[in-house]
Each structure stands twice: as structure tokens, then as C-alpha cells.
Structure 1
Amino acid sequence: MFEEIALKPIGKVISSREEIKDDHWGQVEAFIEVDHAQFTEEVFYGLKDFSHVEVIYYFHEVPPKKIITTARHPRNNLHWPKVGIFSQRAKNRPNRIGLTTCELLEVKGLTIKVRGLDAIKGTPILDIKPYMKEFGPRVEISQPEWATELMKDYFK
């Protein structure tokens, strides 16, 4: 058996986007405000020197009964193959954890401004990491055609 873990959010998303939608996140600008009770401004020292951050967050509006632990057609599109939940980036994941690489626009006090974060207003933030190109793929990327089709408007 695996040990259970508990995570405490470090902050939350402040955004004009309040409803979950599958596409058009590319130009969405949002703020991430970290918890003033847990952190001081030192938490962001040096972050402004990076162009991008990786944001790890919790899909708080996905009800437990909607969690998927098997295979399904992405976005319920029967033209795409049935694939396991770990072969897609659906929000209905077992631990409801999301991860997005965002453009860092501003660091101000205990708040950062980002572009391209696919999380709605109020989303709990679990962690923020600077994006370092050395952590990116070091070889050519491959993915199935259905994934390319699915993502064509995601960050438009």
C-alpha cells in the first residue's frame, strides 16, 4: 500500500476566467497570489529573472464522482482513440493535479502575473517552479495525431 500524503495550497488564482473550458487559454492573463500567512516577499526573490514558470495546481471543482481511473476517449470524442487517463491531460485525474508552463509577466510583492495558465479563478496553487530549459525535453518530441488535433486551439 502507498502512503497517503496531504498538501496545503500555497496560494490561489485570481483570474477573470471563472468557468472551465477546454480551449483558448493562450492569451488569458491571471495572477497567482501566495498566502501571506505562509510567506514573505522573499519567496519570489530572483523569480523575475525567468521568462516562464511551471504552475502546479489542484482541480478543485472536479467532484470526486467524476474522477476517471480507466480509459476513455479524450473529450469524449469517438473519433479519437480510447486511452488511459495517464495518457491524456484531462482534469478528471485521480489526484486532480494540473501542471502548466506559463509566461511570467510580472512579480510584485506576493503576487505574480502570468499568461497561459489554464486554471480558473480560485484554483488552489500547490507549487510554482521556474522553468529551466534544461528540464525540458533533450530529444525530439513525439505524440499521436489525436493529441495534436486536441491541442490545436488550446493555447490560441
Structure 2
Amino acid sequence: MTTYEVEAVATVVGGHTRVQDDYQGGVESVIRLNEAYPLETLQGIDEFSHLTVTWRFHLAQLEDVQLHARSPRGNSQWPATGTFVHRNHRRPNQLAVSYPRLLGVEGRDLRVTDLDAVDGTPVVDLAPYFQKMGPRGTVRQPAWPGEMLADYWRDAAERPDAGLP
């Protein structure tokens, strides 16, 4: 297999302090651009409402990768699906893509909300979200992702154990 080496362009600062499946909404964090990049690399980004952020599940281990079909979240009511049907850290490269809302830009800091990465997460790519580059045509999916993610963007303050670190 061909391998690629990538360096983080930014780091998530603040926001979620632990990995969790649901209640990702309403949490503000900062995407801090690495000092190796000049500030002008962010010029014009404040014109956009949302970002496309590619990040690495840095708290995951290589042993977490599972190359077999399994039910999402271990729930046998949902069908067993293959590794590349899941959107979690059990995929080989342990990468994720998120679309947080951009609240503001202060120097190297991009203030965002609704980023489902945790404090310290390396960001391997960053771009504005272009509506015209989103999916074309009707989006189709089975029922189980909607069921599984019903509480995904609920406000983190509503989480039953919200007071825990």
C-alpha cells in the first residue's frame, strides 16, 4: 500500500474534553493554526459561515481498527455493516471530517461551535464549506443512521452526565 505523511495544520483548543457519542452541540472551541503558516493563509475565511475540517482521532489506538462487519454502537437492532460504512475511529486511517460553524477569527484562532473533536485534536486540513460542493441530487441512506444519531447534535449541556469532566 502507498503511505502518506501529513502534518497537522492546526490544533483544536478547548471544547469537548472527552470522547462521547452524542450531545455534541452547543460547545465552542478554537481551531488554532500552527505558527508555521503565515496569517494570510486565513485571509477571507471570515466570509464563510462553516468550515470543512479534517482531523485525526488522536486518542484512538491502532488496535481500535476493526476490519469486519459489525452493528453500529454494538446495537444488534441495526444491521451489521462494514468498516467503511461506519464514521468512527475504527477505520484504518482514523480520520474524520466535520463541518463546524465559524463564529469568528482572531489572529490564528478560528472560533467555532459544533465541532465534534476534543481538545488537543490535530487538524490535518481546513477549508471553508462551499455549498456548491456539497452532495448533488437526492441524498439516500437507510433508517439506522438517523436513529443512531438522533441525539448527536443535542446541546452538550443537556447530557445526563454534563457535570462530569
Q: TM-score range by the shorter chain?
A: over 0.9
Structure 2 counterpart SS, 1:83: coil
The match for 2:65 is 67
In the alignment, which of 44, 47, 62 is matched to residue 45 of structure 2? 47
Structure with the higher fraction of residues in strand conformation:
1
TM normalised by structure 1 equals 0.95
Moved over 6 A (4+): none
Unaligned runs of 5+ residues in structure 1 are none
TM normalised by structure 2 equals 0.90
Task: Check conservation: 2:16, 2:116, Cα contact below 8 A.
Answer: no
The 1-side partners of 2:87 and 2:113 are apart by: 19
The match for 2:21 is 22
C-alpha displacement at 1:117, in angstroms? Answer: 0.6
Tell me which amino acid in the other structure corresponds to 1:153: D
The match for 2:157 is none
The 1-side partners of 2:20 and 2:130 are apart by: 28
The match for 1:127 is 125
1:109-142: per-residue Cα shift (whole Å, max 9, x none)? 0110111110001000101111001111121111
C-alpha displacement at 1:152, in angstroms? Answer: 0.9
RMSD: 0.9
Unaligned runs of 5+ residues in structure 2 are 155-165
